[in-house]
Every structure is written in structure tokens, then in C-alpha cells.
Amino acid sequence: MKFINSLILLAMIMLTAACSEKITIETEYSKATNFNDFKYYSWHQKAFKTDAKEAAKAEATGDQTKPPKEMDKLLDQNIRFMIDQQLAKQGMIKKESGQVDFLVHYNIAAKSEVNVEQQQVYDTYATNYQSYGGGYGYAGRYYSGVGVGMTVESSTREEMMVDRYKEGMMSLDFHEPDSKELIWSATGEKRLAYEKLEPAERDKLIKKMIGKLLAKFPPK
């Protein structure tokens, strides 16, 4: 019975985790900007640079924003490509030079998290007992017998439940091309499994996140 109760508790934790797997989006924008006139854009950062100090700090704190340098560059190219694709679907045109309406910048991160909770676990167990009896019944015949009974009891105990996961985050920012001031920002967060995602699954998730972020543009 203890095993069954542990399975029930594990199932409840998995259900809670599943319910929290949706992507949450938050946006903010400049009320003084007319986004309906936006058509042309370029990238705010021209090349991806890996800061050695920041990478060491990220590794020490469990923040996996930056993988190895060469993987950084390839992943950066792929993310830019996915963002370009989505912006093109929305009628935006990328320009490598010349006047544009806005600059695009993104950031992506995955931070390790640990959630520790005390859970009440109920253990149920049964106790068997026997009862003996005898007497005179129909036609004066004597009988005797053994009865078997059962009582069900339960007890409670506390167990420490440790839930390890990663909090994934991606932000997409639009800047004014001359002043470089931030004029639109969308941030998405999603709970991830603790294990490292396979590249195909990771790219699928990033593409989905980009779609949800840009669904908030232009602001209404």
C-alpha cells in the first residue's frame, strides 16, 4: 500500500508539472510609437559575441544561456533565421543597409530550478482477525465456526519531495533605429524538463516561442 500511495503522489506531481508547461507571454511597448507603419527592420546586434567572464558566471550559477562558442554562433544563426521567417509572414522586410523602421534583438536562457516541498503521505494497511463461535441451531444441532474479519487503518507521514526543472526564457526586443531606445518588448517563459533537450525538440520549442512572441506584434 505504501508503494501505491507513492505512485499516486508521483502522478499528482507530474500532473501539476504538465499543467504548468504552457508558455506565458508578457509584453510592454511605447504608447508614443505608431507600429502600424512599420515595414523595414535590421538586426540590432551585427555579430554574436561570447563573453568569457559571463560564460563562466553562467556556468557557476546554472544559467545555460551560452553553450560552447561555435555552438553559440550556429544556434544564433538558426534563431535569427526563425525570427526572420516569422517577421516575413507578418509582412516585415529585412534590410542589410539603409533606413529602417526598427531594430531587432533577442535573448534566450535556461536556468536550473529546484522546488522542495513537504508532502503528507497516507499509508493504508489492513489487519486480519479471526472470531470463534458455537451454539445450537435448527433441529437442535450443535454448530461451531470460525469467522474471518478485517479492519482497515491508516497513518500519515511527511515526505520531502524534490522537483528539479529548468525555467526557459526568451525575449524579443524592438529598438528605435536612431536613438536605440527600446520601443517594444515581449518575454516568454516556459517550464522545461531538467534533462537537456535534443536539438530537434529544442528548435521546435524555440520556433513555437517566437510565434507566440510575435503574435503580440503589432500591439493593439
**Domain assignments of the chain as residue spans, ordered by start:** 22-118+166-214
pLDDT of residue 65: 47
CB atoms within 10 A of CB 83: 22
Percentage, residues of the chain above pLDDT 70: 54
pLDDT of residue 198: 84
φ, ψ of residue 80 in degrees (nearest 5)? -60, -40
Q: How far apart are CA 183 and CA 43, in angstroms?
A: 15
Concatenating the DSSP letter of every residue in 3-30 gives HHHHHHHHHHHHHHHHHT-SPEEEEEE-
Query: Which is more confidently placed, 68 or 147?
Result: 147
The three grid cell numbers given for residue 175, joined into one nine-digit string: 529598438
pLDDT of residue 16: 39
pLDDT of residue 178: 94
Measuring CA to CA, how many Å separate 206 from each of 60, 108, 197?
Answer: 24, 9, 11
Q: Which CATH number fits domain 22-118+166-214: 3.40.50, 1.10.3470, 3.30.70, 3.30.160?
A: 3.30.160
φ, ψ of residue 70 in degrees (nearest 5)? -65, -40
